[in-house]
Amino acid sequence: MSTTRTLNIAQAVLAKNQGLADSLREGFRRQGVLVLNIVSSPGSGKTEFLARTLDFIAAEVPTAVLVGDLATDNDARRLSGRGARVLQINTDGYCHLEANMVSSGMEHLGIDGVRLLIIENVGNLVCPSVHDLGEDIRVTILSVCEGEDKPLKYPTIFKSSHVVIVSKTDVSEPMGFDRETALRNIREVAPQVTIFETSARTGAGMHAWREFLLAEVRKKTP
């Protein structure tokens, strides 16, 4: 299958990304900025979840948002007017964000005074898993629409996450979502994660997420 050559190319590119991510992380630490990297499939509800999150966090904590998408600035528009600085990054064919895009994005947005940086990655459960962006907390969102087996089928992203959000819980019943199996699969693949079950539509579970996030911001503040 001649995979070796391709893998070597990938490894060189990944090593370069890792070096930049490490230096970004050190910069964020010095400035006391908590950084989240939000990952999910297309359509898992990342943007709606972030909109609700900004509604409670941006008034309390100076927040910047970088939004990655292949095309359109729909998401940045949906997230604007909620008290955070928002920049859309169009990746122009890239299926994930890389550390250099975060670096350029923060040069545009400016980091002064920011205490929380939320990066909304491109909708993809695969490539974001091996591209460190210098984040403190990797958040993977899994909607109840996607099936309980996804942690088993996309293990790398779950294993490398700190938080898993089970989203769209208001439609668990019509979707026939098997909650016990889903939670068991998440815990089997990624025992380290904190799990929140949320509905951006009804607000269910958002209070616990808010408390967690505020505590993490406090820990990071110098």
Residues that bind a copy of itself (CB under 8 A): 1-3, 6-7, 9, 13, 41-43, 69-72, 74-75, 92-93, 95, 100-101, 104, 122-127, 130, 143, 145-147, 149-150, 152-156, 168, 171, 174-175
Q: Which is nearer to a copy of itself, 154 or 196 (CB)?
A: 154
Least distance to a copy of itself, CB of residue 114, Å? 21
In the complex with a copy of itself, the residue whose CB is nearer, 63 or 199, is 199
CB of 45 to a copy of itself, least distance (A): 8
CB neighbours (10 Å) of residue 20?
Answer: 17
CB of 187 to a copy of itself, least distance (A): 17
Q: In what order do the strands lie in the sheet with 63-69?
A: 85-90, 63-69, 116-120, 34-40, 137-143, 163-167, 194-197
CB of 21 to a copy of itself, least distance (A): 15
To which residue do tokens 């309390």 refer?
60
Q: How far is the CB of 115 from a copy of itself (least distance, A)?
A: 26
Give CA angle at 42 (169, 37), nearest 5°.
Answer: 85
Residue 68 CA from chain centroid, whole number:
10
Question: CA angle, corner 43, sides to 56 and 65, nearest 5?
Answer: 40
Shorter beta-carbon distance to a copy of itself: residue 93 or 222: 93
Cα(171)–Cα(199) distance, rounded to whole angstroms? Answer: 9
